[in-house]
Amino acid sequence: MNNSRIRNLFIGAVLALAVPATGFAGDTIKVGVAGPHSGDLAPYGIPTKEAAEMVAAEVNAAGGVLGKQIELMALDDQCKPEIATNVATKLVSQGVDVVIGHVCSGATKAALGIYKEANVIAISPSATNPPLTQSGEYPNFYRTIAPDDDQGRLAADFATGKLGAKRIAIIHDKGDYGKGFADFSKQFVEEGGQAEVVMYEGITPGAMDYSAVVQKIRREKADLVIFGGYHPEASKLVGQMKKKRVKADFIGPDGVKGEGFLEIAGKKAEGVYATGPMDVTKFEQNQKARQGYTQKYGKEPGTFFDQGYAAMQAVLKGIEAAGSSDYKALSKALQTNFVDTSVGKIKFDAKGDAEGVGFSVYQVRDGAFVEVK
């Protein structure tokens, strides 16, 4: 019997023994929080974990939901699909009612089938790969962020319209998230007809040197680079482009927009563009959440804090409206009721995408990402 067969039998056995999430089996509402809590991508996962902790503490202090306290079960998947499946299996085996996460699209995709089998709803603050909702394969999945096709269209329109790019190089990290963003950007650049995609290439995440790719960008005389992926690779690309004096503009997705990129790229980050969730600081719930965070931690919250906070708010209000965490009842509540959250007043459509959220373009100016009006 091969290893894959053994693993599938193990997961099936765990799911069969797990407490079904069709109500509450214990005295608490168990909320899993899954994402990268260590490693290079921890700056994307820790803010959501902190947001969930803040919401849980506030709700518990007010008496809980339906008379039950919120019990958080935070597990680290390091944004790796193979770890995410283990995390999902463990959460299900421990009787989790709902999950906030996962954070990276690849890890989310790996885990969703396990939650689906157990009738567990997962709400991600950041998994933007469009098929996660649009394929219909995961009716148990919701997200508080817009998908990559919206983000790719914005990047393409900004590159060709606002920046006037004519020769565009598109680079990606070969992952579900990065390649998805790159593919949509390429599609919308080509459909627009205002610029030519002169280069489309994948790179290996974690490589120390991307000079061959940078040299190709120079040879193709690209005046703009669209990158699909996360900040570790973006930082290296930007640094090596500056070192080789390649003057092309650089725009990435929300996987670039964060403190991790600013810290690693340093002064070389200046002028870089990134798409990211629209500025939601005008909303009362957001102001309250951020004020609470700065009082507790003495700093500004990190990437996806707003979306993680909103995911936690939405699912707890959904449970309250449904009267339980029963899969069908909670699904109906999430898709029916508008709720005030840290990203505005939202509800979810039948596919699981949040209505009322979107993206903006930001640029690094004086060491910080500033929204481009």
In this predicted structure, the answer to whether residue 147 has a pLDDT above a threshold of 50 is: yes
pTM of the model: 0.84
In this structure, the number of other CB atoms found within 10 A of the CB of residue 4 comes to 8
In this predicted structure, the answer to whether residue 14 has a pLDDT above a threshold of 60 is: no
pLDDT tens across 83-95, in order? 999 999 999 999 9
The pLDDT, as a whole number, for residue 26 is: 75
The pLDDT, as a whole number, for residue 88 is: 98
In this predicted structure, the answer to whether residue 99 has a pLDDT above a threshold of 90 is: yes
The pLDDT, as a whole number, for residue 319 is: 98
As assigned by CATH, the class of the 149-253 domain is: alpha beta
The pLDDT, as a whole number, for residue 21 is: 38
Average pLDDT, the chain: 93
In this predicted structure, the answer to whether residue 11 has a pLDDT above a threshold of 70 is: no
- Tell me the pLDDT band of 25, cut-offs 50, 70 and 90: low
The domain at 3-145+282-359 falls in which architecture?
A: 3-Layer(aba) Sandwich (3.40)
In this predicted structure, the answer to whether residue 117 has a pLDDT above a threshold of 60 is: yes
The pLDDT, as a whole number, for residue 35 is: 98
pLDDT tens across 197-235, in order? 999 999 999 999 999 999 999 999 999 999 999 999 999
Domain ranges of the chain: 3-145+282-359, 149-253
Average pLDDT for 265-274: 97
Average pLDDT for 282-307: 96
In this predicted structure, the answer to whether residue 56 has a pLDDT above a threshold of 60 is: yes
Task: Calculate the CA dihedral of residues 332, 334, 337, 339 and round it to 10 degrees.
Answer: 170
Q: Where are the alpha helices (DSSP H) in the chain?
A: 3-17, 42-61, 81-93, 105-117, 131-134, 148-157, 176-192, 211-219, 231-243, 259-265, 284-297, 305-322, 327-336
